[in-house]
């Protein structure tokens, strides 16, 4: 029973004076630790061609997150004087939208309503092979390995994803009542974290779910109504310009959205769009 190196008590955060606890953990982990084969997309930069490389990793605790599993792989790569696998991540609590990863053919992996950082290794079995790829879309070029450039989303928001008010000189917060039902629906739409899973999941690499979530949020609130027509037409035009595909109602985006944004937002956006063009 050789303790694996990431359970070396000298390296970690658990108190030294609780060595019995650490020992117990090592034993339990060794009992249920996962041994995995990872097929990871490696690509030096945007100019070079990428390829899958195979890595083996052992003794992964089912309680650790997917990104913590990759942290452990990177520790091993650094030990072997190799370049670590680059992947985007930040908050690690499912809200910043920075992490991505296409895992075994699904954005954010084999679970619903979560981002990759919230995917836990208990979703995998000992001996599994895991394929890890970046988001694939012409509008999201690869920067390196699993990191892609999602600035196209920012450019869509810049086209009109706001209410045009300056700081100061606004009415009292309670001056305009908002129907609770609409406020709740607006919040449902506003929960989008801009991760790009919808684009990655869509066979057309369409950004309709992302755009419609922002359009819907403002369309449902009195504050957003004045600019509704301009907003939807500008945002849709920008989306088309940036090379995203069209929507063919397959619903993959809704199925894979970590925030479970509803496809009804796309219907609402289409309605808004028709109004902006013809009414």
Partner 1 sequence: MIQLDAKIPEGPVARKWTEYKAHQNLVNPANKRKLDIIIVGTGLAGAAAAASCGEMGFNVLNFCMQDSPRRAHSIAAQGGINAAKNYQNDGDSVYRLFYDTIKGGDFRAREANVYRLAEVSNNIIDQCVAQGVPFAREYGGLLDNRSFGGAQVSRTFYARGQTGQQLLLGAYSALSRQIEKGSVKMYTRREMLDVVIIDGKARGIIARNLVTGEIEKYAAHAVVIATGGYGNVFFLSTNAMGSNGSAAWQCYKRGAAFGNPCYVQIHPTCIPVHGDYQSKLTLMSESLRNDGRIWVPGKKEDAEAIRAGKLKPTQIGEEDRDYYLERRYPAFGNLSPRDISSRAAKERCDAGYGVGETGLAVYLDFASAIQRLGKSVIEARYGNLFQMYEKIVNENPYETPMMIYPAIHYSMGGIWVDYELQTTIPGLFAAGEANFSDHGANRLGASALMQGLADGYFVLPYTIQNYLAPEIKTPRFSTDLPEFNEAAKGVEEKINRLMNIKGKHSVDHFQKKLGRIMWEKVGMGRTGKSLTEAIEEIKAVRREFWQDVRITGSTGELNPELEKALRTADHLELGELMAMDALLREESCGGHFREEHQTPDGEALRHDDRFMYVSCWEYAGHDKEPVLHREPLNYEVIKVATRNYK
Contacts with partner 1 in 191-250 (CB under 8 A)?
191, 193-194, 217-218, 221, 223-224
- Tokens 């199925």: give the residue: 255
Question: Looking only at residues 23 through 52 of this chain, which bind partner 1 when binding is defined by CB under 8 A?
Answer: 24-25, 29, 44-45
Question: Looking only at residues 8 through 27 of this chain, which bind partner 1 when binding is defined by CB under 8 A?
Answer: 8-9, 11-15, 18, 21-22, 24-25
CA distance 55 to 74: 11
Q: Find, among 221, 228, 224, the residue nearest to 269 by Cα.
A: 228
> Rule CB under 8 A: is residue 109 a binding residue for partner 1?
no
| Shortest separation between residue 93's beta carbon and partner 1, angstroms | 5
Q: Residue 42 has which token pair?
A: 């490696």
Kind of pairing, strands 34-42 and 129-133?
parallel
Residue from 1, 177, 203, 278 in contact with partner 1 (CB under 8 A): 177
Count of residues near partner 1 by CB under 8 A: 94
Compare residues 247 and 256 and give the one whose CB is closer to partner 1: 256
| Shortest separation between residue 146's beta carbon and partner 1, angstroms | 11
| Shortest separation between residue 149's beta carbon and partner 1, angstroms | 7
Of 77-85, 204-212, 246-254, 264-272, the window that binds partner 1 (rule: CB under 8 A) is 77-85
Residue from 57, 64, 242, 275 in contact with partner 1 (CB under 8 A): 64
Residue from 42, 50, 75, 242 in contact with partner 1 (CB under 8 A): 75
Question: Looking only at residues 142 through 171 of this chain, which bind partner 1 when binding is defined by CB under 8 A?
Answer: 143-144, 147, 149-151, 153-154, 157-159, 161-168, 170-171
Compare residues 104 and 223 and give the one whose CB is closer to partner 1: 223
**One-letter-per-residue 3-state SS of the chain:** CCCCHHHCHHHCCCCHHHHHHHHHHHHHHHHHCEEEEEEEEECCCCCCCCEEEEEEEEEECCCCEHHHHHHHHHHHHHHCCCCCCCCCCCCCCCCCCCCCCEECCEECCCCCCCCHHHCEHHHCCCCCEEEEECCCCCCCCEEECCEECCHHHHHHHHCCCCCCCCCCCCCCCCCCCCCHHHHHHHHHHHCCCCCCHHHHHCCCCECHHHHHHHHHHHHCCHHHHCCHHHHHHHHHHHHHHCCCECCCCCCHHHHHCCCCCCCHHHHHHHHHHHHHHHC
Compare residues 144 and 247 and give the one whose CB is closer to partner 1: 144
> Rule CB under 8 A: is residue 275 a binding residue for partner 1?
no
| Shortest separation between residue 64's beta carbon and partner 1, angstroms | 5
> Rule CB under 8 A: is residue 57 a binding residue for partner 1?
no
Of 101-109, 174-182, 248-256, 267-275, the window that binds partner 1 (rule: CB under 8 A) is 174-182
């Amino acid at each position: 029973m050789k303790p694996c190196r990431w359970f070396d008590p000298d390296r970690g955060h658990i108190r030294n004076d609780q060595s019995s606890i650490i020992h117990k953990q090592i034993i339990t982990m060794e009992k249920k630790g996962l041994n995995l084969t990872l097929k990871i997309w490696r690509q030096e930069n945007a100019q070079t061609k990428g390829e899958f490389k195979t890595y083996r990793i052992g003794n992964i605790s089912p309680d650790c997150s997917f990104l913590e599993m990759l942290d452990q792989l990177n520790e091993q790569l650094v030990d072997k004087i190799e370049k670590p696998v680059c992947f985007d991540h930040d908050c690690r609590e499912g809200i910043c939208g920075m992490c991505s990863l296409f895992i075994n053919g699904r954005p954010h992996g084999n679970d619903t309503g979560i981002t990759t950082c919230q995917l836990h290794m208990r979703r995998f079995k000992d001996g599994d092979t895991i394929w890890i790829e970046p988001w694939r879309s012409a509008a999201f070029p690869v920067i390196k390995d699993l990191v892609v450039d999602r600035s196209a989303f920012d450019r869509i928001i810049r086209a009109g994803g706001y209410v045009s008010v300056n700081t100061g000189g606004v009415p009292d917060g309670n001056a305009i009542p908002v129907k609770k039902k609409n406020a709740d629906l607006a919040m449902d739409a506003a929960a989008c974290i801009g991760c790009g899973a919808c684009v990655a999941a869509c066979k057309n690499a369409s950004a309709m779910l992302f755009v419609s979530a922002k359009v819907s949020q403002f369309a449902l609130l009195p504050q957003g109504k004045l600019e509704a027509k301009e907003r939807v037409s500008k945002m849709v035009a920008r989306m088309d310009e940036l090379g995203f595909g069209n929507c063919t109602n397959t619903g993959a985006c809704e199925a894979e959205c970590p925030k479970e944004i509803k496809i009804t937002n796309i219907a609402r956006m289409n309605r808004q769009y028709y109004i902006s063009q013809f009414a």
